[in-house]
Amino acid sequence: MIHPLPTPVQYLGEDGSVRPGVTLPGTPDDWYALWHTMLLVREYDRKLVTLLRQGRTTFYAQAAGMEATQVGIGRALRPGHDWVWGYYRDQGIALTMGARLQDLAAQMLGSNSDPNRGRQMPHHYGSAQINFVSASSSIANQVPPATGTALAQKMLGTDEVTVCTFGDGATSEGDWHAGLNMAGVQQVPCVFVCENNQWAISTPLSRQTASDGIVAKAAGYGMPGVQVDGNDVLAVWAVVQEAVDRARRGGGPTLVEALTYRMGAHSNADADAEKTYRSREEVQHWQARDPLVRFERFLERQGHSISAAQRSEAVASLHRQIDEAIQEAENSGQPDWRSMFEDVYADMPVHLRRQYQQLRLEQEAGQS
Amino acid sequence: MTTTESRPAGTSGAGESTTLTLIQAITLGMQGEMRRDPRVVVFGEDVGARGGVFLATAGLQQEFGEERVFDTPLSEAAIVGAAVGMAVRGLRPIAEIQFADYMGPGFDQLVSQAAKLRYRSGGQFSCPMVVRTPSGGGVKGGHHHSQSPEAYYCHTPGLKVVMPSTPYDALGLLRAAVRGADPVIYFEPKRLYRAVKGEVPTEDYIVELGRAAVRQSGTDLSLIGYGGVMPDVLKAAQALGEQGVSVEVLDLRSLVPWDREAVMASVARTGRAVLVSEAPRIGSFMTEVASSIQEDVFDSLLAPVGLVAGFDTPYPYAQDRVYLPGAGRIVNAAVQTLNYG
Ligand SMILES: Cc1ncc(C[n+]2csc(CCOP(=O)(O)OP(=O)(O)O)c2C)c(N)n1
């Protein structure tokens, strides 16, 4: 158990030092991989903001500041084996689990190569290849289905685990309580992780709940709750890993609250975050707790420091990969209008065939 | 395509059959599907030891155990949402919502998750699941136990919407729903649960969704209904028949998809249509049928399409029977249509 440590669980001090009594998870190779994925999430974020500014996509919700939380969660899972019911902001989890950049980019653009076939607004990735269920926009409505998937895993006798993520705002919805309550009753192999980034658009945590942290709610549903420093990737990995392992062994669900911060705007529709609802000081406070910087300090203290040259080379290479992925997505063109009528049902019913025929005539008339 | 159904399609007079009530057919349907397919699970409020408040799941927990037939917390969001997640991971959930009137907390799960998942994921994920729920009036239940909310669901692409009125259809449609690849909301007209009995073959058969049934053939007028109103529709047809009117009666059986072809073929033949539903009139499913009739077979119409519906009031307790479109109102509407012009 992790209990001897104070709440929230922290493995690394802000200067990158290792907290006393901690057994670090992973090897230096794992640490390097974590760093590299966090850097990818950060640079992807930068590129996507640029893509938005250029008007080449229409919606993006930044994850900058939340890399440690998302990469730590993703690292605790077996890609292609475990399942994720996440939410729109979870690109970091997807990338850690091996999501293809081309797929993420294609979904951002709603282009022809999008695994979701251009069916949703940007930034609602999903991939059956890594059991990452396509995100819904409706806040918290992934929570009861996550419980259901975990229940199915238990009933089918698999040793799979489901991870369900959400923001702090989501914990106010009825669906959230319904899903956790049933998960507790059924003792399903599900790990619920709150990516508590302190804000739900412009609503602060204090307006979201009167409880002492989200983690306090775990007791109400009969499951363990752990609060973790969400800017400490090793602590998140360890805490989620322990919850995942317990779930895999039949030990039931856990609620994890990762304390973190979104450094950017809620989304592009919220560009004035700092002017309208949060203070400069607050943002600066959290910038000083940048999870990437902290991890680089840790690596340095461990004798695996990353040189400036190495870092800029890695950044340049990531930019190239991201650019290529976006280019490839753009080159795949727009989905054909015909596909609009597919996947509503497994087979197209007659009323949709009829509407399809009508549109076909209009399209053909328009094109001639 | 339409089946004429004094005798079920695909069965000869020689086939084995039993007489069942509507609710017995539903129970038998779940039992049969659970025996056939170990992935089928049944859950909801009080469905286990008690067998559901209407006893639709009676005996299932005894036969299949508490793993496959279980009581959930009192949460429609959890019930429908869990069904989504279970279906995605390879089970075949049948979720019971105790009354259709209580879908509210689970509505978002049904329309935003279940109905959209296949589409929004580009066909990568799907939810083959059935939500069963008693609906409709006539049981002195007041407005929170009597509503006919099917139109809300018909308006949701990605969902299939079913409402049987005979034991034969109840069983055949339930099997089709459970074996299908998409989420289905299966409304059970609760006042017919024990009020109708019918012959049901013992052999396996399904009733494909989207096929209307011709209950009676005729040449002067098409009476079209579904669900709880069907016995009254048939009564009205009989009364009209006694007055020398040849009435064709169609039971839609499923609303999404619905059998537009059968409706048009019938109305084109008779030239007159009266549509019957107990749901409030504004935005009801029958307004879609009426609009489609005038779109497709306007030239065949000898009179405006008649519509007998529930009133646009909340469902009243004391006036329970007055609210429902009984045979009398259906006959009146038919006479108006026949006397038009
Ligand atoms: C049911 C619902 N209500 C409102 C919205 C609009 N909305 C989109 S994001 C958001 C805030 C979500 O905050 P949180 O859950 O904390 O996640 P975060 O975006 O901060 O990561 C709101 C209110 C929505 N998408 N769904």
Q: What DSSP assignment string belongs to A51-62?
A: HHHTTS-S----
Q: What is the ipTM of this complex?
A: 0.90
pTM over 0.90: yes
Tell me if residue A353 falls in helix, strand or coil. Answer: helix
What residue type is assigned to position B73 of the chain?
A: P
DSSP A127: B
A224 lines ligand 1 (CB under 6 A): no
CB contact under 8 A, B41 and A155: yes
Nearest to A260 by CA among A184, A339, A167, A177: A167
In the predicted model, residues of chain B with pLDDT beneath 50 are: 1-12
Query: What CA–CA distance (Å, rounded) separates A206 from B251?
Result: 56
Q: What are phi and psi of A82, to 5 degrees?
A: -80, 165
Nearest to A250 by CA among A155, A144, A177, A174: A155
**Chain A residues within 8 A of B124 when measuring between CB atoms:** 115-116, 126-128, 134
Using the atom order of ligand 1, give the atom closest to the CA of residue A66.
21
Nearest to B23 by CA among B144, B171, B208, B207: B171
Query: Cα B55 to chain center, whole Å?
Result: 19
Q: How many CA atoms lie within 13 A of A100 on its CB side?
A: 15
Q: What is the pLDDT of residues A77-102, one digit of tens each?
A: 999 999 999 999 999 999 999 999 99
Residue with tokens 């059935």: B130
Q: Mean of the per-residue pLDDT values for chain A?
A: 94
pLDDT value of residue A281: 92
Q: What is the pLDDT of residues B235-278, one digit of tens each?
A: 999 999 999 999 999 999 999 999 999 999 999 999 999 999 99
Query: What CA–CA distance (Å, rounded) separates A201 from A267?
Result: 8
Q: What is the pLDDT of residues B275-324, one digit of tens each?
A: 999 999 999 999 999 999 999 999 999 999 999 999 999 999 989 889 99
CB contact B179 to A (< 8 Å):
no
Query: What CA–CA distance (Å, rounded) separates B63 from A73?
Result: 41
CB contact under 8 A, B81 and A156: no
CB contact B83 to A (< 8 Å):
yes
Q: Are the C-beta atoms of B237 and B249 separated by less than 8 Å? A: yes
Tell me what percent of chain B is helix, strand and coil, each rounded to the nearest 5.
40, 20, 40
Query: What CA–CA distance (Å, rounded) separates A136 from A140?
Result: 9
DSSP B70: E
CB contact under 8 A, B86 and A152: yes
pLDDT value of residue A172: 97
What residue type is assigned to position B18 of the chain?
A: T
Write out the two tokens for B123.
Answer: 């066909």
pLDDT value of residue A265: 87
Q: What is the pLDDT of residues A287-334, one digit of tens each?
A: 999 999 999 999 999 999 999 999 999 999 999 999 999 999 999 999
Q: Are the C-beta atoms of B17 and B204 separated by less than 8 Å? A: no
Who contacts B110 (Cβ-Cβ below 8 Å, separation ≥6)? B80, B103, B131, B153, B156, B159, B183, B185
Query: What CA–CA distance (Å, rounded) separates B242 from A187?
Result: 63
Nearest to B256 by CA among B292, B210, B206: B210
pLDDT value of residue B11: 45
Using the atom order of ligand 1, give the atom closest to the CA of residue A89.
21
Q: How many CA atoms lie within 13 A of B262 on its CB side?
A: 25
Query: Cα B41 to chain center, whole Å?
Result: 21
Q: Of the residues A123, A266, A289, A294, which is catalytic? A: A266
Nearest to B181 by CA among A301, A229, A348: A348
- Residue length, chain B? 341
**Chain A residues within 8 A of B122 when measuring between CB atoms:** 114-119, 134, 343
Nearest to A162 by CA among A96, A90, A226, A84: A84
CB contact A172 to B (< 8 Å):
no
Nearest CA owner, ligand 1 atom 4: A139
The residues with which B18 forms a beta bridge, in sequence order, are B200
In a mutational test of the pocket of ligand 1, which residue from A201, A202, A257 has the highest number of ligand atoms less than 8 Å from its CB? Answer: A201
Say what percent of chain A tops pLDDT 70: 98
pLDDT value of residue B13: 54
pLDDT value of residue B8: 46
Ligand 1: distance of its center to the CA of A170 in Å?
A: 7
To the nearest whole angstrom, how far is the Cα of B315 from the nearest Cα of chain A?
27
pLDDT value of residue B7: 45
Nearest to A271 by CA among A48, A107, A92, A62: A62
Q: Are the C-beta atoms of A34 and A71 separated by less than 8 Å? A: yes
What residue type is assigned to position A213 of the chain?
A: G
Q: A7: pLDDT confidence band, cut at 50, 70 and 90?
A: confident
Q: A1: pLDDT confidence band, cut at 50, 70 and 90?
A: very low
pLDDT value of residue B1: 40
Q: What is the pLDDT of residues A37-83, one digit of tens each?
A: 999 999 999 999 999 999 999 999 999 999 999 999 999 999 999 99
Q: A368: pLDDT confidence band, cut at 50, 70 and 90?
A: low
Q: What is the pLDDT of residues A217-238, one digit of tens each?
A: 999 999 999 999 999 999 999 9
Which A-chain residues 274-303 have CB contacts (< 8 A) with chain B? Answer: none
Query: What CA–CA distance (Å, rounded) separates A210 from A218?
Result: 14
Q: Are the C-beta atoms of A104 and A325 separated by less than 8 Å? A: yes
CB under 8 A, 24+ apart: contacts of A107-110 = A108/A48, A108/A51, A108/A57, A108/A60, A108/A326, A108/A329, A109/A56, A109/A57, A109/A326, A109/A329, A109/A330, A110/A334, A110/A335
* Helix or strand holding residue B133 (H, E): strand B130-135
